[in-house]
Amino acid sequence: MNTWDSLLLGLSFALQPHVLVYCILGVLLGSFVGVLPGIGAMAAISLLLPLTFYMSPEAALIMLAGVYYGAQYGGAVASILLRLPGTPQSAVTTLDGYPMTQQGRGGIALFTAMVSSFSGSLIGIVVLVMLAGWLSGLATRFGAADYAMMMIFGLVAASTIGASRPAKGFAMITLGVLLGCIGTDVNSGAQRFTFGHAELLDGLNLVALAMGLFGVAEVIANIRNPERQSIAARIPLRSLLPTRDDLRRLPLPILRGGTLGSFFGALPGTGSTLSAFLAYATERRLARQPERFGKGAVEGVAGPEAGNNAASITAFTPTLTLGIPGDPIMALMLGALIIHGVQPGPMMLEARPEMFWGLVASFGIGNLLLILINLPLIGIWIAMLRIPFNYLYPAIIVFLCLGVYSVRGLAFDIVLVAGIGLAGYLMTLAKLSPALLLLGFVLGPLIETNLRRALLIARGDPMVFLERPISAGFVLASMVLLLVPLWKIWRRKRAAADF
C-alpha cells in the first residue's frame, strides 16, 4: 500500500461521523484547557483517560491527541494576552506576544500564532508521514539491547537537555522507575513492593498517578496564585488582520520553526517546549535587527508557535512506530493505548493501519478545525480567561476522583490519589519535575524487561550493548549528553578560579 492509499484509508476512517465528533470534542477541550492557565494538556488528558474506556481505541487516541495539539493553540492565547503561559510549550510566545498586546497589536499576535501553529502542524504531518514508514522498517531490526539503550537515551535526554539541574531530573526519573517496579515482576512472578495490598498486584494505577501529580497538585498550587489577573481587553475580529509588512515577515520563520520542531519532536526525550525555545533563539540570531526581539517582533511569535506545534505532531512518531514515548504526554498516550489493549510498536502500521493513518488524517482535520474555529471564536476564549479558578477547581477535583474510580472501581485508588497529590505538591515546592517521574514510570518496566532479555541472550556479557551498532550509537549519544553538564560545571569552576 503506498502512502496515498494509506492516507485515503486514514481520511475515510477519520471522517466517519462518530470519529469526527471525538476529534472536534478533543480539539475544543484542548483549546479550552490550553487557554486556562494552571490546567495543562497533561491534566486534561489524565482527566479524560477514564472516559475514553467507553470508546474504541482509535477514537480514544484521536480525541486525546486532539486535546494535546488543541492545547498548543489555546496556550498561545493566554501567553499573548496575559503574559501567562497557558501551557509550558507556549512560554516563549510571551516574550514577543505580550509586548505586541501592550502596543495594541494583540489581535495580530493571535492571528500570527494561529496561522503559524497551523502551518507548523502541516510541516509536522509531512515529516511524520515520511519518517513513520522508514522508522518502523528500521525498528524491525531493533533487538532488546537496542530498545533498552534507546529508552535510556530518551530518559537521559529528557533530564539533561535544557535543564538547569540534571541531578533533579535524574532523581525524578529513577523515582518513577522505582514506582514502575511496584507489582508483579513479569519474569519471575515475584510481588514487588506490594506490602500485602492485592490492589497493587497489577502495579500502581497510571491514571491515579497522573491525576495525583497533574490534577491534585496543580489545583493546590493554583488556588491562591497571586499572578492570576483579569483582563478587560476586547479583541474585535477586525484587529486580527495583519499588515502587509507583518505578512511578509511570516513565511520564513514558520518554515524554520516547523522544520526545527519536526526534528526535535521526533527525537525521544526532547519535545515541543525545547523546540519553541530553539526556534526563538534561531529567529533572533538570524534577524537583521535582533534588538526588535522582546519588543513585539512577529517573528518571535511565528517561529516558536510553528515549532511547538510541529513537534507535538512528530512526537507521535517514536511512540507509535517504536512503542517508545518521547515525552511525558506521549507516555500518558502510550499508557492509554496499553490500557485499551493496543501495544504500539513496529508492527502497528501493518496490524492496525486504520489507527495510525486515521490519526494522521485526524491531525490534518483537527488542525483545520482549530484554525477555522479559533479565529472567529477568539472572543469566547477570551471570555473563558475571565472564569474565576474558584468555580473551576472544585469541578476538577470531583471529575478526577470519579475518573480514577471508574478505571477499576476501587476506593483504594482514590486514597492513592490523595497521597500522590501530596507528594506532587511537595515536588513542585522543591522544583522537581513530576512529568519526568511519569516518563520514568512508563518507560521503567519496558527498560527492565529489555535489559534483562538482552543480558540473558548475551549470557550476561554487558559488552552486548557496545557490540550492536544501534545500541552503541545510543550509548555514545547518552555519554555525550551526560558529559556536557559536567563540562559546563568544570568550565564555570575554571572561570571562577581565574578571578
Partner 1 sequence: MQRDWPEVWGGLILAMIGIGAAFYAWQNYDLGTLRQMGPGFFPVAMGVALCGFGLIIALPGLWRRSEGVPFDIASLLLILAAVLVFGLALPRLGLVGTAFATVLIATLPAERRGWVWRGVLALAITLVTVLVFHVGLRMTLPLWPRL
- In the list 341, 388, 495, 499, the residue contacting partner 1 (rule: CB under 8 A) is 388
Q: In whole angstroms, how close is the CB of 146 to partner 1 at the nearest point?
A: 18
Does the footprint of partner 1 cover residue 181 (CB under 8 A)? Answer: yes
Interface of this chain with partner 1, residues 394 to 413, rule: CB under 8 A: 394-395, 397-399, 401-402, 405-406, 411
Does the footprint of partner 1 cover residue 230 (CB under 8 A)? Answer: no
Does the footprint of partner 1 cover residue 415 (CB under 8 A)? Answer: yes
CA distances to 119, 156, 170, 271, 319 from 161, in Å:
26, 8, 12, 10, 20
Tell me the per-residue interface mask from 280 to 309 with partner 1, x by CB under 8 A, - otherwise. ------------------------------
- In the list 126, 163, 221, 477, the residue contacting partner 1 (rule: CB under 8 A) is 221
Going by C-alpha positions, the residue among 161, 175, 140 that lies closest to residue 439 is 175
Q: Are 183 and 209 in contact (CB under 8 A)?
A: no
| Burial annotation 235-265 (CB, 10 A radius, 16+ → b, else e) | beeeebebeeebeebbeebbbbbbbbbbbbb
Does the footprint of partner 1 cover residue 465 (CB under 8 A)? Answer: no
Q: Are 366 and 122 in contact (CB under 8 A)?
A: no
Number of residues that bind partner 1 (CB under 8 A): 60
Which C-beta is closer to partner 1: that of 255 or that of 423?
423
Helices (H), 223-315: 244-249, 251-266, 272-286, 299-314
- In the list 24, 27, 81, 417, the residue contacting partner 1 (rule: CB under 8 A) is 417
Interface of this chain with partner 1, residues 431 to 450, rule: CB under 8 A: 431-432, 444, 448
Q: In whole angstroms, how close is the CB of 266 to partner 1 at the nearest point?
A: 28
Q: Provide the sign of the torsion angle of the four alpha carbons 395, 215, 334, 130, taken in this order.
A: positive
Does the footprint of partner 1 cover residue 356 (CB under 8 A)? Answer: no
E-only strand ranges, 347-386:
none
Half-sphere exposure at residue 139, Cβ-oriented, CA atoms within 13 angstroms: 24
Q: What angle do the packed helices 434-457 and 328-339 form, to 10 degrees? A: 60
Does the footprint of partner 1 cover residue 462 (CB under 8 A)? Answer: yes
- Using CA atoms, how far apart are residues 151 and 154, in angstroms rounded to an integer? 5
Tell me the per-residue interface mask from 190 to 209 with partner 1, x by CB under 8 A, - otherwise. x-xx----------------
Chain residues binding partner 1 by CB under 8 A are: 51, 54, 165, 167-168, 170-171, 174-175, 177-178, 181, 185, 187-188, 190, 192-193, 216, 219-221, 223-224, 388, 390-391, 393-395, 397-399, 401-402, 405-406, 411, 414-415, 417-418, 421-422, 425-427, 429-432, 444, 448, 451-452, 455-456, 459-460, 462
